[in-house]
Structure 1
Amino acid sequence: MSTTKTARSIALNTLIRVLEDGSYSNISLNNSLKSSQLSKADQNLATKLVYGTIQYKIYLEYQLNGLIKTKITEKYIMPLLLMSAYQILFLDKVPNRAVLDEANKLAKQFGKQHSSGFRLVNGILRALTRRGEILPDQKDTVKYLSVKESMPIWLVKYLIKNWGEKRTESILASFNETAKNSVRLSSLVNQKHTFIELKKLGYDPEYSSLSSHDVILNHGGIVESDLFKKGYLTVQDEAASLVADVFDISGNEVVLDACSAPGGKTVQIAERLNKGNVTALDIHEKKLKLVRQNAERMGVSDRVSTKGVDARKAHDYFSKQQFDRILVDAPCSGLGLLRRKPEIRYSKTMDDLLNLQKIQLDILDSVALLLNKNGELVYSTCTISFEEDEKVVEKFLKNHPNFELAPFKLEKIASKSGMLKILPDSYGSDGFFIAKFKLRG
């Protein structure tokens, strides 16, 4: 294979790894871009092609299926067809002839010697440009929404069952919107000053509708700035940053973050402490290194310690009633993150929700023993499924009658029930769930 690196060749190489080999899109793409010499504009194009193609994979496959008349044997062809179809159907500024020309070049570059793959690709794409978009009959609501919004059938049915057709349409459409560039401002520095500096740097910042310590930027690249490197802010979704705010903290608490990596919430809690401290757990030492790096960058490393422990076995490593505050930001299906991680929609199933529920309950069962009598336990997920959210709360309370839900009030939002679910179309944030528990009496 040729080593020529263009925006489209890097995008295609990434898509082959993601769609054919099961790699993670963000890791594969970031690694490819780091080793390339692409301009910023070309890096942006490669990123758009990768995420757009993955995001609309079901829709794009539907467009191509009737046009593919022969068996595809070479690994690169389907990703190339999908990527090219994405450009034809979504990128109005790219002429169709340019898409076909680039597709032919890539077919020759990625194909085997003397391969006729480029003729196959060329024929299918020309047929697509002649025919244009097709969609299922709207009377078949599930199939229509599945194709139109590129979501698996099971997830469309699940959303309709729980939220009805109209809200499902809104949720699905929101998942295909561009994810916001959301950052959280450190509470250890003057946040107004940070906001002004962001303006000077051309980020056109706007305060989040969920909190005043979260800011939405008009473009990415903030991690390369001095503001980020000096710990004035950190990349964190506005919904995720609410979790730490749910705790009542005076500053002297001993806190456990049971599922901490990469450390965003650990750091946020540590910023509110003076004499207190946070113990951050994760199974993998590599991930704990990220927690320590984040704590160092944000100026709270003196309040954070890490321990390589499976949270399901936390009770074997710590004393009963050792902690004043415990956070379980549990491993979950990530269905609230479909904007940022589009491939999740193709890899998760209903069975995953139930399997993850068991892990989530095992973690809660373990850490419940470690909370002191005046303590607070917060459970959160970046999913919107009832199995991983409300059902987990229900089962935990049934197994632990000494616990009860505790209402909480945040800066711009409140929960009288002690549970808060943020759907992705409500604020344009990630989908998120938060529950707060206290010991009875």
Structure 2
Amino acid sequence: MSTTKTARSIALNTLIRVLEDGSYSNISLNNSLKNSHLSQADQNLATKLVYGTIQYKIYLEYQFKGLIKTKITEKYIMPLLLMSAYQIFFLDKVPNRAILDEANKLAKQFGKHHSSGFRLVNGILRALTRRGEILPSPKDSLKYISVKESMPIWLVEYFVKNWGKKRTESILASFNENAKNSVRLSSLVDQKKTFIELKKIGFDPEYSSLSSHDVILSHGGIIDTDLFKNGALTIQDEAASLVADVFDINGNEKVLDACSAPGGKTIQIAEKLNEGSVTALDIHEKKLKLVRQNAQRMGVNERVTTKGVDARKAHEYFSKQQFDRILVDAPCSGLGLLRRKPEIRYSKKLDDLLNLQKIQLDILDSIAPLLKKEGELVYSTCTISVEEDEEVVEKFLQRHPDFELAPFKLEKVASKTGMLKILPDSYGSDGFFIAKFKLRG
């Protein structure tokens, strides 16, 4: 295969790894772009092609219905067809003849059998451009929504069951919007000055509708700035950054972050402390390196200690009633992140939600004895599934009657029940769930 690197060849290479080999899109794409020497515009195009193709995979596959009449043997062909179809239906500024020409070049570049792959790709794409878009009948509403919004049918059924058809259509459409470039401003520096500096260097910042310490930027590239390198801000979704604010912190507490990596919430808690400390756990020692690096960059490393521990066994490593505050930002299905990590929709199954619920409850059971009387426990997930959110809360309270939900009020949102679920279409953020417990004295 030729080593010519263009936006489309890098996108195709990434899609082969994601769709055929099961790699993670963000890791594969970042690795591909790192040494590509592409212009920023071409990097943006490669990113759009990768995420757009994965996001609309079900829709795009449906467009080839009846057009693929031979068995596809080379693994680059289907990703190439899907990527080309994405451009045909979603990139209006690129003429179809240019898309087909680029697809033909890539077929020659990636194919072991140049002529057969080229002819197959060329023939199918020409037939697609002649026929145009097809969709299931709207009378079959679930199938129609599944294809239109490119969501597996089980997820469509799940959302309709829990939120009704109208809200489901809104949620699924929001998942297919572009993810925001959200950053959290450090509380250890002058946030107004940081905001003004972001304006000066061309990021057109706007304050989040969820909090005043979160800012939405007009474009990416913030990690290359001095503001990022010097710890004035960090990349964090606006919904995720609410979690640390739920705690009542005076500054001298001992805090446990049971599932810490990559450390965004650990660092945010550490910023609120003066004499206190945060112990950050993660099952993977390698990931704790990220926590330490981020803590160093954000200027809170002296308040953060890391420990490679499976949170389900935390009770074996720490004393009873050792901590004033505990955060369990639990491993979850990530169904709130479908805008940011589109491949999740294809890898998760309904059974996963219950399997994860067991892990989440095991973690909560393990850390519950470690909390001091009158202490606070916050449970959070980046999913919106009932099984991993409300059901976990209900079952935890049944097992631990000495805990109770505690209402909380944040700057721009509040919860009278002690539980807050942010759906992705409410603020254009990640979907998120937060529950706050207090241990009775």
Normalising by structure 2, report the TM-score: 0.99
Counterpart residue number, 2:127:
127
In structure 2, the residue matched to 1:276 is 276
Instruction: Return the letter of the residue paired with 1:381.
Output: T
Instruction: Please tell me the residue identity of whatever aligns with 2:331.
Output: P
Q: For residues 92-171 of structure 1, what are the structure 2 equivalents within 5 Å?
A: 92-171=92-171
Secondary structure of the 2:279 match is strand
Which digits, 9 at most, give the CA deviation of each residue in 1:123-163, with x for residues without a partner? 11001111110111111111000000000000000000000
Shift of residue 286, structure 1, vs aligned partner: 1.1
CA distance in structure 1 between the aligned counterparts of 2:353 and 2:271, rounded to whole angstroms: 33
C-alpha separation between the residues in 1 aligned to 2:29 and 2:209?
A: 31
How far 1:191 moved relative to its partner? 0.2
Q: For 1:217-366, what aligned pairs fall within 5 Å after superposition?
A: 217-366=217-366
Q: Secondary structure of the residue that 2:150 maps to in structure 1?
A: coil
| Letter matched to residue 88 of structure 2 | I
Q: Which residue number corresponds to residue 21 of structure 2?
A: 21
CA contact (8 A) 2:107 2:114 kept: no
Matches of 1:394 and 1:94 in 2, distance apart?
A: 52
242-251 or 34-43, which moves further after superposition? 34-43
Which residue of structure 1 aligns with residue 423 of structure 2?
A: 423
- Deviations, residues 343-386 of structure 1 (Å, cap 9, x unaligned): 00000000000000000000000000100002100000000000
Q: Which runs of 5+ in 2 are unaligned?
A: none
Counterpart-to-counterpart distance in 2, 1:236 and 1:39: 26
Letter matched to residue 215 of structure 1:
V
CA distance in 1, matches of 2:194, 2:187: 10
Change (3 A) 1:101 1:114: closer
Q: Name the SS of the counterpart of 1:241 in structure 2.
A: helix
CA deviation profile, 1:289-322 (whole Å, cap 9, x unmatched): 0000000000000000000000000000000000
How far residue 278 of structure 1 moved from its aligned partner, in angstroms, is 0.1
Counterpart Cα distance in 1 of 2:408 and 2:329 = 17
Name the structure 2 match of 1:55.
55
Shift of 1:115: 4.3
State the secondary structure of the residue aligned to 1:374: strand
Tell me the equivalent position of 1:37. Answer: 37
Tell me how far 1:80 sits from its aligned partner: 0.2
Q: What's the secondary structure of 1:421's corresponding residue?
A: strand
Paired residue type of 1:121: V
Aligned partners of 2:262 and 2:306: how far apart in 1? 11
Runs of 4+ in 1 over 6 A off after TM superposition: none
Task: Give 1:66 shift.
Answer: 1.6
Count of aligned residue pairs for this structure pair: 441
Instruction: Give, in angstroms, the shift of residue 65 of structure 1.
Output: 2.4
Q: Secondary structure at the match of 1:373?
A: strand
Return the alpha-carbon distance in structure 1 between the equivalents of residues 333 and 57 of structure 2.
19
What one-letter code is carried by the residue in structure 1 that aligns with 2:246?
A: V
Alpha-carbon distance in 2 for matches of 1:281, 1:114: 51
Aligned residue number for residue 408 of structure 2 = 408
Partner of 2:179: 179
Using the TM superposition, give the Cα deviation of residue 439 of structure 1 relative to its aligned residue in structure 2, in angstroms.
1.0
Change (3 A) 1:277 1:120: same
Alpha-carbon distance in structure 1 between the residues aligned to 2:240 and 2:40: 29
**AA at the equivalent of 1:261:** A
Letter aligned with residue 143 of structure 2: K
CA RMSD of aligned residues (A): 0.6
Q: Which amino acid aligns with 1:134?
A: I
Structure 1 counterpart of 2:91: 91
Work out whether residues 278 and 305 of structure 2, in 8 Å CA contact, stay in contact via their aligned partners in 1.
yes
CA distance in 1, matches of 2:343, 2:113: 31
- The share of aligned pairs that are identical, in percent, is 88
User: What secondary structure does 1:65 align onto?
Assistant: coil
Contact 2:14 2:32 in 1 (8 A): yes
Stretches of structure 1 that go unaligned for 5 or more consecutive residues are none
Task: Name the SS of the counterpart of 1:388 in structure 2.
Answer: coil
User: Which SS does the other structure have where 1:215 is aligned?
Assistant: strand
Contact 2:211 2:412 in 1 (8 A): yes
Q: CA deviation at 1:440?
A: 2.1
CA shift, 1:113, in A, is: 3.9
In structure 1, the residue corresponding to 2:156 is in which secondary structure? Answer: helix
**Distance across 2 between alignment mates of 1:334 and 1:370:** 27
> 104-113 or 314-323, which moves further after superposition?
104-113
Q: Which amino acid aligns with 1:83?
A: M
Q: Distance in 1 between matches of 2:169 and 2:319?
A: 48
Partners of 2:113 and 2:98 in 1: how far apart? 24
Q: What is the CA–CA distance in structure 1 between the aligned matches of 2:47 and 2:114, rounded to whole Å?
A: 30
Q: Return the letter of the residue paired with 2:278.
A: V
* Deviation readout 1:101-120 (Å, 9 max, x if unpaired): 01001001100044411100
Letter paired with 1:109: Q
Structure 2 residue 73 is the aligned partner of structure 1 residue 73: yes
Matched letter for residue 82 of structure 1:
L
